[in-house]
Chains A and B, each alone.
Chain A
Amino acid sequence: MTDAPASGPMHPVLPHPDCQDDPALREAQEQRLRAVWKKPTGWRYFSAVNNDTVGVWYILTAFGFFAFAGILALLMRVQLALPDNDFLSMSLYNQLFTMHGTMMMFLFAVPIFEAVSILLLPELLGARDLPFPRLSAFGYWCFAIGGTFVAGSVFFDAAPSSGWFMYPPLTSEPHLTGIGADIWLLGLSFIEVASIAAAVELIVGVLKCRPPGMRLNLMPLYCWYILVVAGMILFAFPPLIAGDLLLEMERAFDWPFFDTTRGGDPILWQHLFWIFGHPEVYIVFLPSIAIIASLVPTFARVPMVGHSWIVLSAVGTAFLSFGLWAHHMYATGLPNISLGFFSAASEAVAIPTGVQIFCFIATLLVGKVKRSVPMLFAMGGIAIFVAGGLTGVMVALPGFDWQAHDSYFIVAHLHFTLIGGVVFPLLAGLYYWFPFQTDKLLSERLGRWAFWLMFVGFNVTFLPMHLTGLLGMPRRVWTYPAELGWDTLNLVSSAGAFVIAAGFALIVLDVFRPKGRQPLAPRNPWGSPGIEWSAAVPGESWGARCVPIVTSRYPLWEQKDLVREIDEGRFYLPDAEEGQREMLVSDILDAEPTQVQRVPGPTYKTLLAAALLGACFIFGTYKLWWLTGLCAAGTVAAIIWWLWTGTSQIPEKPEKAAGRGLTLPLYASGTRSVGWWAMFITMIGDFSAFVGLVFAYFFFWTRHEAFPAADAGRPDLRLLVTGLALILAAWALMELIRRRHAAGGIAWARWGCPLAALLGLAGAAAFAGALWSAGLEPTRHVYDATCWVLVLWLGAHVSVGAIMQLYCAAGSWAGRMTPRYDADLHNVELYWNFMAATALCSFALLGLFPLTAGGP
């Protein structure tokens, strides 16, 4: 049960390097590190890419959207305080509730997890930065631009107003909704791309950037949760992106995916949305539990009880969360067998959640708990969340949910889980890690006031809503008549909302009040065991003085003299001799260091790329196709510029001394490089989106007597075979090029890559030709539209693949890619493996499946 204190024999603490005894040397090292990791100042401030700058921007922006969405909620509460009220108009109220949900989920809950993780992860791992700092900056700028665009629409009376769930046909008929639905679909797709980018970075960070000795079983719980949640993002967001694509294609080009008169079905959207939407709930909940898991041992003063059980429970929750999406669809008329299955899966998720919470309680029991504001928020959050969980297992029963669904009972339930399970733990984390980032403590007195205001205000607001729901008040109503007995309850809820707001305002005040005269916090003020607290006060921008050897789950408690040795630079990478930003890359299981990775510094290229991509989506929203195309081309150019000048640089020497007598290579290709893993993980996510489209195909098949119908055109089989053969040839050629090139055949890269690009593009064209020649028209019937969207997906991906191949060829011509330094080629080869899989699946669906010509 209580896991044996795990300590690794892998890294016996060696005699300290004597050279670090020299204070003058240490001083010189520190100056070099300081210069290399210096934050850009003045007007160049926004070119920063380092995780601790971008992380802070990210957190502030996400909390900014949180406050904005909270103000929208207050306006709604004013409107609902009295029956037949006219404080807000119907159309504004509909925009506000849509934006409140949309912003809280897409612009706060998910981004704040990524923001906190970007800020913390390197420090939790004793690393200096994330493996792709410019990718984090790019993700941040996408989020900031896209979020501002979506949030700003409310000021122009153009905000989406069909609910955060965007059910068609209400959203697919352009005459029923204005530009708002396009803003939702395109603006949020843009942000989802940024979320996936951050997820990729975090996964690679956890897997490949751990300090020497930190085998997987020694990893802090927070990192486990990051790994699990980022993995969930990878499988949950892509189906929504696929859904967004289908819905926007219907809105913009009349492809009838959700139009029942042409074979479409609005329920498909609900599946795609909730396959995203329910894991989403755990995507936002698990990171907050991770924060509690970080606090509990600190304040209980003992190691976590049941460390491995918590990890298993988190994985179990993630797994289950993909099998219960349909519990949002109980009222759509699913067959009983499905209802039973999804009900059981929904109930089951209570068990891993129970394990996690009881591990925390058991740890509190074992230790002597030190009372503090962070613990107050954590325990208050658990108290609220447990109540939300208890109503959760109720609404997981279909029979009960048929009454509760879409009533205020659900509004109460979801706010208990999300505010108790997300907001309170986050605020606990804010109080806990604030001194870590700013070297100042937040006020304990204000913190207690804020907690009690928020806790009491929360219960005054949301506890009565269970009853309001029981009395039959549906969700998403801008007004209600007086005679239904809802008046008093609503008035109480509205009053409570302002108490919550007052509590949050106190926190904002505390965070932003000038703290110039306040003394610095003591080093490691809470007596935490985590390596992130080894940083000196005041902090330095280098992240870690050197990369330590970690042999314990609680290094600051269990590894003697660790902090002093870190301060004295007695571990890895204590210096920046070449004036480059460097970090250690290690292998996945045992965290043996394998490479010194150089990471790029400040740049505006990421901001430029994000701005162009944002413009591309925004012009697309307004159907300004020429400008959209122009910006898309500009984005590709900016990204190529960024990659060409910042990644896979050939180092001036093959390897360097990393400290403690260890010499490591400065460059890695294939599975040993972080870039290969990033490509692999990205393509897993990308392939999930493709699977979403395949799901759509089979979903339509189940909805039709025959799919394709007997009178529908069949894609030309000969052209399809040709297309498949060409794409497989491009893939095989890539494989061959990579091998021959590694053996010294430079010409293979220079001439083979463009040839492979041509083969691939010709293959995609043959696929399109197969539909074209058979007369498939995407606006005619959903079968035609589904075929075309598959080919569209394939064509877009092959085009990107062709750009990558040309990039490799150009790299070879320019001398930035050689047989010894060929990471780009490995990554592109990997990409083409996925292209081969995509082409095979598309071929099977378009060419072989119609041969069966049957219905389900």
Chain B
Amino acid sequence: MDDGLSSFRLPRAPVAAAAAALAPAALLAGCSGPQSWADTAGVEAEAVARLLWIMVAAAVVIWLLVIGTMLFAARSGPSDPRGRGARGLVIWGGMVAPTVAVLALLVAGLILMRDLTGRTGELTVEATGEQWWWRIAHAAPAGDADAAPVPTPNELRLPVGRTVEMVLRADDVIHSFWVPSLGGKLDMIPGRVNRLHLTPTRTGRFRGACAEFCGEAHAQMALPVVVMQPEAYADWLAGQAAPAAEPADARTRRGRELFLATGCGACHAIRGTAAEGKLGPDLTHVGSRLTIGAGQLPMGRAEMARWIADAGAVKPGVRMPAFDMLPAEEIRLIADYLVSLE
């Protein structure tokens, strides 16, 4: 039965073993980022990250043991088929060890799940997934229980150290709300209401994203998130609750006229003006936001003009039509007006 293949040998150090051994180092070095769930800024995300590192370490050890055993078995000479080695290997390695490991994991997982759910929020934020933006509304500032929630689309601001209950809904298709630095994701499903609790632990700017494929522009449905000191948050929310500022100069006044005359109000609302559209994001304080188009462009006059002229060139698939049939100057005027709405 000599077919010339027996000379072949496995190399000593499989690449994967080396790679797996190096992986934790690489992970620790490179896991920071505005959308990283290892670079945590919330109680919920921290609970998951702690478990992550324990599991990764255990997984590397288990992998090395199993694959090391396999390579040893493949190189070792024949042994007695009725000997204890083979039998013990299957019983201890194949049954007892996995049973113990998954039981331990299950207990850890159930405790984690208990910690992450079944909580109550100190404040409530409603978020509705839309193709492809976030309709967000904060409960009105304290003391005014009957006031309508304050619309603050496409940007989530939270006070540090308070547990917020996110009330998640969807209008059109299924989306998923995910701000990895703060905590895990939860789907936004038409016809259902889901509730997610987040407790930020440090201030800063983070990034969320839609995690459930929701159609054409899914990739560009981002969500800027800002965690603030409670006082700053209260100030910000009071500002957002107010109607839009009157134009301060002729240029922005002309911009508002053009905004209303061009029909922008069919989709967008600017509280305090005749624009009361509900299809698109509320623009009452659009100038105060960090980004345009759900995290696609930084806020600025040139960027706003670019967005108005052809939003689809920035965010293919977006529902907002291009307005590049308008003279460039008119677009600039509208953009200036919008950016002035702080």
Contact = CB atoms under 8 A, between A and B. Distances in A.
Contact of B173 (A176, A371, A391): A176
A616 B281 CA distance: 45
B51 A400 contact: yes
B81 A399 contact: no
Interface in A298-354: 301-303, 305-306, 309, 331-333, 336, 339-340, 343-344, 347-348, 350-351, 353-354
B62 A390 contact: yes
A365 B59 contact: no
B315 to A, nearest CB: 9
A485 B34 CA distance: 9
Given A333-B189, A459-B16, A474-B209, A361 B89 contact: yes
Nearest to B315: A90
Contacts of A472: 33-37, 178, 180-181, 207, 209
A355 B23 CA distance: 27
B184 A399 contact: yes
Contacts of A376: 8, 10
A106 interface: no
B228 to A, nearest CB: 21
Contacts of B1: 527
A366 B79 contact: yes
Contacts of B181: 472
Interface stretch (A122-130, A279-287, A377-385, A770-778): A377-385
A83 to B, nearest CB: 12
A362 B106 contact: no
B112 A357 contact: no
A173 B214 CA distance: 12
Interface in B64-107: 66-67, 69-83, 85-87, 89-91, 93-95, 97-99, 101-103, 105-106
A367 B86 CA distance: 10
Given A333-B192, A402-B48, A303 B81 contact: yes
B211 A405 contact: yes
Interface in B22-43: 23, 26-27, 30-38
B194 interface: yes
Nearest to A372: B5
Contact of A471 (B36, B102, B109, B176): B36
A403 interface: yes
Interface string B35-60: 11110000001011001100100010
B97 A354 contact: yes
Nearest to A355: B94
Contacts of B174: 167, 169-170, 266
Interface residues of B, number: 112
Contacts of B5: 370-373, 444
A343 B112 CA distance: 12
Given A260-B191, A455-B16, A364 B186 contact: no
A260 B52 CA distance: 37
B90 A309 contact: yes
Contacts of A173: 173
B217 to A, nearest CB: 7
Contact of A266 (B76, B183, B190): B190
A361 B67 CA distance: 9
Contacts of B117: 336
Given A333-B192, A459-B16, A386 B63 contact: yes
A478 interface: yes
Contacts of B184: 331, 399, 401-403, 405
A402 B116 contact: yes
A636 B115 CA distance: 59
B219 A480 contact: yes
B138 interface: no
Contacts of A475: 211, 213
B113 interface: yes
B118 interface: yes
B19 interface: yes
Contacts of B102: 347-348, 350-351, 393
Interface stretch (A12-20, A194-202, A462-470, A820-828): A462-470
B4 A444 contact: yes
Contact of B33 (A333, A361, A386, A484): A484
A393 B105 contact: yes
B70 A383 contact: yes
Contacts of A333: 186-187, 189, 192, 194-195
A84 to B, nearest CB: 11
A467 B210 CA distance: 19
B110 interface: yes
B244 to A, nearest CB: 30
B149 interface: no
Contacts of B115: 399
A306 B90 contact: yes
Given A368-B77, A371-B8, A470-B31, A169 B213 contact: no
A672 interface: no
A2 interface: yes
Given A266-B189, A362-B89, A363-B86, A370 B6 contact: yes
A376 B71 CA distance: 11
A9 to B, nearest CB: 23
B178 A474 contact: yes
A471 B33 contact: yes
Contacts of A850: none
A406 interface: yes
Given A362-B86, A397-B105, A387 B63 contact: yes
B51 A463 contact: no
Given A167-B174, A358-B89, A364-B70, A2 B37 contact: no
Nearest to B295: A481
Contact of A467 (B27, B97, B216): B27
A386 to B, nearest CB: 5
A702 interface: no
A535 interface: no
A448 interface: yes
Nearest to B117: A336
Contact of A361 (B20, B69, B176, B219): B69
Interface in A63-112: 89-91, 94
Nearest to A171: B173
Across the A-B interface, the 10 shortest Cβ-Cβ residue pairs: A402-B184, A358-B94, A260-B191, A472-B35, A397-B109, A477-B219, A399-B112, A354-B98, A365-B73, A364-B73
15 contacts: A1-B91, A91-B316, A357-B94, A387-B63, A397-B105, A399-B116, A400-B112, A402-B48, A406-B176, A406-B211, A407-B211, A463-B19, A470-B27, A474-B178, A526-B3
Given A91-B316, A91-B317, A467-B23, 8 more contacts: A89-B316, A90-B219, A301-B78, A387-B59, A390-B62, A399-B184, A459-B15, A467-B31
Interface of B: 1, 3-10, 14-16, 19-20, 23, 26-27, 30-38, 45, 47-48, 51-52, 55, 59, 62-63, 66-67, 69-83, 85-87, 89-91, 93-95, 97-99, 101-103, 105-106, 108-110, 112-118, 172-174, 176, 178, 180-181, 183-187, 189-192, 194-195, 207, 209-220, 316-317
Interface of A: 1-2, 89-91, 94, 162-163, 167, 169-170, 173, 176, 260, 265-267, 301-303, 305-306, 309, 331-333, 336, 339-340, 343-344, 347-348, 350-351, 353-373, 375-376, 379, 382-384, 386-387, 390-391, 393-394, 396-403, 405-407, 441, 444, 448, 455-456, 459, 463, 466-467, 470-480, 483-486, 522, 525-527
